[in-house]
Amino acid sequence: PLMTLKVIGGIHWEALRLWMKGLKLQPGHEHPDTNAISWRDQQGDMHHEKF
Q: For 1-51, write each residue's pLDDT tens digit.
A: 799 999 999 999 999 999 899 987 777 777 666 788 888 888 989 888 887
In this predicted structure, what is the pLDDT of residue 37? 85
Give the Cα-Cα-Cα angle 25, 19, 26 (nearest 5 degrees): 0
In this predicted structure, what is the pLDDT of residue 9? 97
Q: How far is residue 15's CA from residue 22's CA, in Å, rounded to a whole number? A: 11
In this predicted structure, what is the pLDDT of residue 16? 93
Closest CA to 38 of 49, 22, 27, 26: 49
